[in-house]
Amino acid sequence: MSRYDTLNEKQKEAVYDTEGPLLILAGAGSGKTRVLTHRIAYLIEEKQVNPWNIMAITFTNKAAQEMRGRVDNLVGFGAESIWVATFHATCVRILRRYIDRLGYENRFTIYDVDDQKSVMKDVCKRLSIDTKTYKEKAILAAISSAKNELLTPEKYEKLIGGDYYKKKIAQAYWEYQKQLKSSNALDFDDLLMKTVELFQKNPDVLESYQERFRYIMIDEYQDTNTAQFQFVSLLAGKYQNLCVVGDDDQSIYKFRGANIQNILNFEKVFPNTKIVKLEQNYRSTQNILNAANGVIKNNVHRKEKTLWTQNEEGEKVKYKQFLNGFEEADYVTACVRKKVECEEAAYKDFAILYRTNAQSRMFEEKFLNANIPYKIIGGINFYARKEIKDILAYLKTIDNSRDDLAVRRIINVPKRGIGATTLTRVQDYAAENNISFYNALRYASEIPGIGRGVSKVEPFVTFLQSMKSKAEILSVKELIEDILEQTGYIEELRAERTDEALSRIENIDELINKAAAYEESAEHPSLSEFLEEVALVADIDNLNEQSDYVVMMTLHSAKGLEFPYVYMAGMEEGLFPSYMAIVSEDPTDLEEERRLCYVGMTRAMKELTVMSAMQRMVHGETQYSRPSRFLKEIPEEMVEIGNERKRNQVTREEREAAKQNIHAQARQAFKQKIFMPKNLEKQKKGELGYSEGDTVKHIKYGVGIVEKIEDGGRDYAVTVNFEKAGIKKLYAAFAKLKKL
């Protein structure tokens, strides 16, 4: 029996068709890596192709190692001569030999992200660029995007027209490249860009590699950017034996520069292309595939294909709609615990997928309380994230200024220009006088040799002293908001204009949500107790890090993975699809969100559960959302609603019940006592001291007019239109509004 007899008919077709351009549209779970490795074996064994004439390119080192291992096992002798590498590793090997043709020395340095930041910092100084307006990260992100599109500083400058912001970027781009060149260095984007430039300017070099690599295979082709596409096109230009494997329905990296048109227009760029569709899925049940097919067919810009399987029909997709995020996390926790206790599954069989990293917080807390082991993929645990640790360090310093670690963490976050020499002298003074680092800061003017550093230290101390006073009267949520406002922490992140910065802001919003929920449920809310609760939840050092754990990750991180049981959380309009995609003028943004949904659904092998909440905490406020449009796109006959309400059918009574119930949910979720503290007993509406239409004053937001007073269950929700802060929804017991 031939090794190729184990392949299905379409897989065999993809393996046997070796000459000319070939586009393999490989649906989710269709065995594309198996096809690529068998194709390599077939070229060597049956077509007598020399192993060194074969190139296979992947996107990640992990994928390259996996393919290399499979090729070695399949091919045996000669396998080591096959070029299996990532795009970047391939370009480095080429440039090491020929970059001198571009005026560089062959022993060039590759700069990592921190190196790039250091260079850009120097560039901004040289050009007198105001880094408060033009953040180094934002400039580097813009330069990276330009390089992905093969735009040199000169080409970029010609394209930008009269855009003042982009003119500054162009100036920085020129100087940045000049400094890299003088240092004989390249960044990661340069590796591809310079290789393309090398090929374009040196036909002899290009031809030598065209002769070397007569058979080229590219994995995950839907994720290629313009520079990668041009590199591949040049390399395959002579023999045209180019095989690309990908799935346009799984193109989800537009934010990284991926261009879906590379796969959609492949046959236009390479005439005589043969297309093979791998539609048989080996991963999921037919019901899961039918549901996923029903969603993705709503995209216009795609190549027609329908996944099918010989696996069992399986259970219908479960749809659960909850009142809020607490219920959502409770439900998943109960499901995992039940299946594991009944020995139906192990922890590692479960995955929780969500749109944003911030959504992990509630699941993390629930799992810790339930002693369920978990691991976050593609991110770090919520309370271990830099921005969360920064804000918590402020709170710790306010609560207990003897915490030297917390004080040292925030002294230059955001940057205050307090130099290393100053900090060393403060530390020495603290040690000599046996006082805390913070107390030493308070006596900065008495520390010898600190000089002008005093003028930087004193405002920091004054700020912390004022925050300590405010902590006596502000709620924890208000205190966090005040810290963010006074330090400009959020504004600095917004100015970066990067996806990473937006993600950090979302995480901070989730911390505010946590603080608001804590105050709703605590008997006697206090900053000390809040920090204690967070510290206990964040203490995951003793978590059993064996292979048996529930996996949590964003939908972007889930690509290429599979799990028997998948829970897709937060499927609400504005969250998934994201608000930015909904309001975008570019319809392809919404299509990419739908592809992301398709990727999530096709991770499931046995059971898929999709979930939405009627209300969710956003920026510390309760917001109501409609279920995601993607839920409506799942064929009705594929969905098991059971005792849950029908999709999108939320009555007015239920919305009111949700408002009444939010506080009870918070109490249950955070294991707090459920009775009211005496000093915060709910007053009668007439005892508030003000009514709708009255002018009131708030200690933080100033003067405003009461627009609405609503019964929020445990307390009254008061909507106030403040003169400076705008409209705010506050709880009466915490707001302490005074009528003027």
Spatial separation of the C-alpha atoms in residues 362 and 359, rounded to whole Å = 7
Choose, from 603, 606, 667, 700, the residue flagged as catalytic: 603
DSSP state of 548: -
| CA 145/CA 160 separation, integer angstroms | 13
409 included as an active-site residue:
no
**Structure-block tokens of residue 301:** 């810009």
Does 306 participate in catalysis according to the annotation?
no
Phi, psi of 671 (to 5 degrees): 55, 40
Residue 482 buriedness (CB in 10 A; 0-12 / 13-18 / 19+): middle
Question: Of 136, 157, 175, 219, which is the active-site residue?
Answer: 219
Catalytic annotation present for 33? yes
What span, in angstroms and rounded, lies between the C-alpha atoms of 490 and 487?
A: 8
Task: Provide the greatest CA pair distance for the chain.
Answer: 91
For residue 662, what is the enclosing H or E element? helix 652-669
The one catalytic residue in 12, 13, 17, 33 is 33
Of 10, 11, 32, 210, the active-site residue reads 32
For residue 720, what are the β-bridge partners? Answer: 706, 728
Backbone angles phi, psi at 622, to 5 degrees: -85, 125
Structure tokens at 649: 């059918």
Decide if 548 contacts 261 (C-beta within 8 A). no
Question: Is 135 marked active-site?
Answer: no
- Helical H segments across 265-402, by residue range: 266-269, 286-296, 325-341, 360-369, 386-399
Active site residue 211: no
* Cβ-proximal residues to 420 (8 Å cutoff; 6+ apart), any chain: none
17 catalytic residue (yes or no): no
* Residue 536 neighbours by CB distance under 10 Å: 11
**Active-site residue among 58, 116, 177, 250?**
250
User: What tokens appear for 507 in the block?
Assistant: 């995480």
What whole-number distance in Å separates Cα of residue 472 and Cα of residue 731?
A: 18
- Residue tagged active-site, from 220, 249, 481, 509: 220
Q: Report d(CA 42, CA 37) in Å as an integer.
A: 9
Which helix (H) or strand (E) segment holds residue 245: the answer is: strand 242-246
Looking at the annotation, which residues are catalytic?
32-33, 219-220, 250, 603
